[in-house]
Chains A and B, each alone.
Chain A
Amino acid sequence: MVELQTTWGWLPAIYLFLGGLGAGAFLTVSILRLAKPGRFKKTVTGGVWTAVVALAIGLLALVSEVAKPFQAMILFKSFVNGSSWMAVGAWLLFATIIVFALSALFTTDKIADWLGSVVKPLGRARDGINKALAIIGIPCALAVAAYTGVLLSAAPAIPLWGSWLLPVLFTVSALDTGVAAVAIFATVLEKDEGVHGVRTALEWAVVCLVVLEAIVLAAFVLTMQGAGSNEAVSVGLLTNGVLSVQFWLLVVVVGLGVPLVAALVQVVVSRRKGGGKIAPAVPVGGATCALVGGFTLRFLVLSAGLHAALISPAALQAAQNMVMLIS
């Protein structure tokens, strides 16, 4: 019986998910905002606030996982250790949450109007500020999405995490969940008459991202199976071990299969002549399933991240090899 990784519990998994979700949502609405300036207010506002709240809760989860949260603020005193990805990531997250928060403030009409009335130039420059924040925010969001995977893949003693495919997988999944969150707003809240086109575009994005994510996930699993015995043991937990039900059911079927089917149904229906109507339950259900799958993926990758020294105690193994060499 192999024990699961428990050094990091479920709080980092929440961060990995929410950080990716926030980044993906911000990216999606920023593209929407740059493509169609001044339109789809409700979708853009909802998406930006989702990004801020998700990232903020994710950061709280991350900080509460460490034993000394207040001491953790030392990361912001200076660049204490440039070779540590966690130190780099702390600064990245700090900068990104500021960009996201500013963007949310300037996107919300009431707050932006009030700011404009207090400081006149801010009111006049609002559109420009929003555009600038969207442009600065896109690379930040991409970096935050990738960093969730880099954080894990930079830990050399965990065989399962030691692949550049992990940041790629988490980035694609982040975009996928972000698009899903924005699609919910576009379906439920949006009143703009052009929303139909946006929803179709989002569904096409879902189709592409789900297919891409499935390919990357398959590549990740196959790479790990062929990488060595330690990697194979870890990934075996997902494919046919104690986590296999969650993996196949929640990540593959619920997280990839259902959103793909839901998106395809909508694309097909919207192409029918006369613009077929579809119940909001289909897009919202598909998006919710994508979110469930995204969270489960983070949780499972974290749980299956067995330490090399625990699978085959490295110290012991090294000693054993030596004992054999010398005797």
Chain B
Amino acid sequence: MAKQYGFYMDTERCIKCWACEVACKQWNGIEAGTIARRKVHEVESGTFPNVTRKFVSMSCMHCGDPACAKVCPAGAISKRGEDGIVVVDKEKCIGCRYCFFACPFGVPQYTDAGMDKCDCCIGNGVTPGDMPHCVATCPTQALQYGEMGELAEKVAGKKARQMADSATKPSVVVS
């Protein structure tokens, strides 16, 4: 099987400091007040007095079988064979927003230049396979990055799951 890089989100470690969101915006030169490629969500569970909350940092899932690429009429979205990163060619993008209707996670966002989403920082000079800036910035190592096989070994002792979506196979592990 071809290599597939992905993210590992350790909810035990996340302190909701938003450093990943900020680093992502800074390094990718995203204008303030517009879009965010990465967002930290809060998941509440239980009822009072046994309420817990966990934090989950999410971006593009770089799916094994990306629905966005399948519907793109301009062929602007592609999955790289060498590392499984899903990338957008903004030159080709026509801005029809059809990919937003296809992605089960509502990831695609739009700027004047076209569709915008996480590319694991390869667009801002990070060598494919190296740590994206969100991961490098995370002060608690709650957000990690690596080849899916390595991530699976890393979480072997924990109760971890790969993000579940039967159709698209997201490359994200959460514990």
A residues adjacent to B (C-beta < 8 A): 7-8, 65-69, 71-72, 74-75, 80-81, 83-87, 90, 154-158, 161, 305, 307-310, 313-316, 318-327
Contact = CB atoms under 8 A, between A and B. Distances in A.
Contacts of B93: 68, 71
A72 B72 contact: no
Interface stretch (B24-32, B105-113, B121-129, B131-139): B105-113
Interface of B: 9, 11, 41, 43, 45, 52, 54, 56, 58, 61, 67, 70-75, 91-98, 100-107, 110, 112, 114, 158-161, 163-165, 167, 174-175
Contact of A71 (B94, B100, B163): B94
Contacts of B43: 316, 319-320, 323
A90 B71 CA distance: 13
A interface majority secondary structure: helix
Contact of B73 (A87, A158, A324, A327): A87
Given A323-B43, A326-B161, A314 B96 contact: no
B61 to A, nearest CB: 8
Given A313-B41, A323-B11, A326-B175, A318 B164 contact: yes
B78 to A, nearest CB: 10
B101 A68 contact: no
Contact of A156 (B67, B106, B159, B174): B67
Contact of B94 (A68, A308, A324): A68
A322 B101 contact: no
Contacts of A322: 161, 163-164, 174
B104 A157 contact: yes
Given A67-B95, A67-B114, A307-B100, A81 B45 contact: no
B106 A90 contact: no
B101 A307 contact: yes
Nearest to B77: A81
Given A156-B104, A318-B163, A320-B45, A80 B94 contact: no
A86 to B, nearest CB: 4
Contact of B105 (A71, A315, A323): A315
Contacts, number: 143
Nearest to B167: A156
Given A7-B100, A83-B70, A157-B101, A74 B92 contact: yes
A7 B104 CA distance: 15
Contact of B159 (A67, A81, A90, A325): A325
B74 A309 contact: no
Given A71-B74, A72-B94, A319-B163, 8 more contacts: A7-B100, A67-B97, A86-B96, A315-B106, A318-B163, A319-B56, A320-B43, A322-B163
A169 to B, nearest CB: 18
B71 A309 contact: no
B73 A155 contact: no
A108 B124 CA distance: 59
B74 A157 contact: no
B89 to A, nearest CB: 11
B167 A84 contact: no
A35 B124 CA distance: 65
B9 to A, nearest CB: 8
Given A320-B43, A326-B175, A67 B110 contact: yes
A192 B60 CA distance: 63
Nearest to A307: B106
Contact of A314 (B45, B71, B104, B174): B104
A323 B96 contact: no
B73 to A, nearest CB: 4
Q: Considering the complex of A and B, which 6 residue pairs feature the smallest CB-CB distances, nearest first?
A: A67-B95, A155-B101, A309-B106, A326-B159, A86-B73, A80-B75
Given A321-B164, A326-B175, A315 B74 contact: no
A72 B92 CA distance: 9
A325 B75 CA distance: 38
B141 to A, nearest CB: 18
